[in-house]
Copies of this chain bind each other. A is one copy, B any other.
Amino acid sequence: MRQLYHFPLCPFSRKVRVVLSEKKLEATLLYEPIWKRRPEFLKFNPAGQVPVLIENILVDPRRPPKEHVIAHSQAICQYLDETYSERPLMGDTPLTRAEALRLIGWFDEKFFLEVSGPLLFERIFKRLVGHGGPDSARIRKSLGFIALHMKYLDELIQERHWLVGEALSIADIAAASHLSTVDYFGNIKWDDYKHAKEWYARLKCRPSFRSLLKDRIPGIPPDEIYDHLDF
């Protein structure tokens, strides 16, 4: 059975969980407390980060399948998209794939650095690791970036049904994964961005998104609209 090492609110793990589900691929989710830096886990990914996919690949039908370790969310997503290609999620031309990669970079790098990364670190990780209280100045700074990102997303989605044209792509999934992490804390004023809200509502209704909406961090309940389909 395929296994995915993940952390519940990690946007990168979420991106892979949604891609697996959109491709109707089953995987056992294994909770990885990355701050413990377990040697067994570091063997899978020396970067110490989730997600890591353990994929069993049948090379010779007379032998048991061979275990392959794939680390890094974009590596896993592109691997899955190529290998299970009936319903491609990376765009259908080199130019749409480039646009998908640009937007994946926007959310996985820029949004993560400015917003989802610091919020997760200050509010969840510090508490789990016992690293002292959250740094409220850093949280305020991150919250200050949200409006810029939401305005950009709202503009983009005004012109397109999905972020990269007419079909759902990993760009939508990456964006929604990061936003869903921030939405757990109730920090997105959805009513100010009606196009983005309509787009996120469409994503939230998808079966692939359901398991994300069930994530809970003990002692840190989500905002009340977090798992509401009507928000």
Which chain B residues lie closer than 8 Å to A109 at the CB level? 109
Which chain B residues lie closer than 8 Å to A95 at the CB level? 57, 68, 70, 79
Which chain B residues lie closer than 8 Å to A106 at the CB level? 47, 72
Once A47-B110, A110-B47 are accepted as A-B contacts, the answer to whether A79 and B105 lie under 8 Å apart by CB is no
Once A46-B152, A105-B72 are accepted as A-B contacts, the answer to whether A98 and B110 lie under 8 Å apart by CB is no
Q: Chain A contact residues (Cβ within 8 angstroms of B): what range?
A: 20 to 34
Residue of B46, B75, B99, B152 touching A105 (CB-CB under 8 A): B75
Residue of B nearest to A78 (CB): B101
B82 touches A97 (CB 8 A): yes
Which chain B residues lie closer than 8 Å to A142 at the CB level? none
Residues 48 to 85 of chain A near chain B (Cβ within 8 Å): 57, 68, 70-72, 74-76, 78-79, 82-83
Which chain B residues lie closer than 8 Å to A127 at the CB level? none
Is A102 part of the contact surface with B, judged by Cβ < 8 Å? Answer: yes
A97 touches B78 (CB 8 A): yes
Once A79-B94, A94-B82, A97-B82 are accepted as A-B contacts, the answer to whether A102 and B72 lie under 8 Å apart by CB is yes
B46 touches A70 (CB 8 A): no
Which chain B residues lie closer than 8 Å to A57 at the CB level? 95
A75 touches B102 (CB 8 A): yes
Query: In the bound complex, how far is the Cα of B106 from the Cα of A83, in angstroms?
Result: 23
| Minimum CB–CB distance for A30 against chain B, Å | 19
Residue of B76, B102, B152 touching A70 (CB-CB under 8 A): B102
* Given contact pairs A57-B95, A70-B95, a sample of 6 additional A-B residue pairs in the complex whose CB atoms are under 8 Å apart: A47-B110, A72-B105, A75-B105, A79-B94, A79-B97, A79-B98
